[in-house]
Amino acid sequence: MSSTEDATKYARGQVQWLLENQCRIPIRSITPISFYYKTSDTLLDEADFYYRNNQLEQSFILYSRYITLFVEELKLHHPGYATVSVNEREHVKEIIRSKAFPRAEELKEKLKEKYSREYESKQKAIQEEVAKIAAVPLDKPATNFHNENEQTLEQLKTAYAPMPPAHVALFAIPPTDSVLPLSNKEPAKPAFDRSRKPMMNFGNSSMTTLRRISIPCDITAKFLQAAQRNTDRKIETCGILAGSKRDNNYMITHIVVPKQNGGPDSCDTEKEEEMVEYIANNNLITLGWIHVY
């Protein structure tokens, strides 16, 4: 197989990895289907942002998620799909036809070109290093020469081993019931220590574009006040931080306190469908968790 064929095969494999591992959105049948339709605008907005900024992996993943969500997941697996109005379905179909699908295809080809170049660059670096090794004078003991060369080649193989494209995490949204509006003061920097809170996991630097989140300085005081009764009884309380996107950054504007059962070191949320409906109806985005115990 020629070098060009190897590069093409590598590029196709990378794109296929993205499609299989990053471009699907798991859905929950208990989540109202209206939530997915209302929040899909945010997904599309994020895809457009990355597309404008020529961030290929991110935009390809998000456009593909949008397509998969409506063409496969909701249509085939959500019991509420039959209740969606014809107008809503046609609106989404038009977005897929005129924007999401053409851009996903365009980005797929660009990614193949990018991954092919990366592969060829890595192979060239390996070949150059091998040539340097071959040019080393043979006036040193053979044993040391071979050991050093083998070690160098092993380091090269490790450094240039094909890596899967980076990961873009998609978070499940927790439950909710009541809401604490927050003031828009200068943000403070809280510290949370919970293994269950959402986490982002990135594979390489090309995917690590982060957004600033503005946090009101009174967020902790308001939540502690709301949770005081539970705290006095040694019961943990959890809340969901929600807000909106402004100028490509996020602003926390609400603490949504779900219906919940708590203990000294646990907190189980209830009535998740009510939280989902509230988040969707108020055009909020779930941005994190807050706990006190």
Tell me, what DSSP letter sits at residue 97? Answer: I
What's the pTM?
Answer: 0.58
What was the pLDDT predicted at 98?
97
* pLDDT score, position 74: 94
Buried b (16+ CB within 10 A) or exposed e, 188-219: eeeeeeeeeebeeeeeeeebeeeeeeebbeeb
Residues 6+ away with beta carbon under 8 Å from 118 = none
Which stretches does DSSP call E strand in 201-278? 213-214, 237-246, 249-257, 260-263, 266-269
Buried b vs exposed e over 65-98: b needs ≥16 C-beta within 10 Å? bbbbbbeebbeeebeeeeebeeeeeeebeebbee
Using an 8 Å Cβ cutoff, are 237 and 291 in contact? yes
Task: Identify whether the C-beta of residue 125 lies closer than 8 Å to the C-beta of residue 73.
Answer: no
Q: Which domains does the chain have, with CATH numbers?
A: 1-170 (1.20.58.80), 178-292 (3.40.140.10)
Q: Are 153 and 259 in contact (CB under 8 A)?
A: no
Strands 266-269 and 260-263: antiparallel
- The reported pLDDT for the residue numbered 150 is 59
Question: Strands (DSSP E) along 154-248, which ranges?
Answer: 178-181, 213-214, 237-246
- Angstrom distance (rounded) from CA 23 to CA 173: 18
pLDDT of residue 153: 53
- Structure-block tokens of residue 151: 């070690």
- Rounded to an integer, what distance in angstroms lies between the CA atom of residue 237 and that of residue 260? 8
Q: What is the pLDDT of residue 155?
A: 56
CA distance 293 to 228: 10
Q: At what angle do helices 101-134 and 33-52 cross, to 10 degrees?
A: 50
Instruction: Please report, for the chain, how many H helices and E strands are present, in that order.
Output: 9, 7
- Asked if 111 and 207 count as a contact pair (C-beta separation under 8 A), the reply is no
| Per-residue tens of pLDDT for the chain, all 293 residues | 567 888 899 999 999 999 998 888 888 888 888 888 888 888 898 899 899 999 999 999 999 999 999 999 999 999 999 999 999 999 999 999 999 999 999 999 999 999 999 999 988 888 888 888 877 776 555 445 455 555 555 555 554 444 444 333 333 333 334 445 554 444 444 444 444 444 444 344 344 456 678 888 888 888 888 888 888 888 888 888 888 887 777 888 888 888 888 788 777 777 777 777 788 778 888 888 787 77
Predicted pLDDT at 198: 42
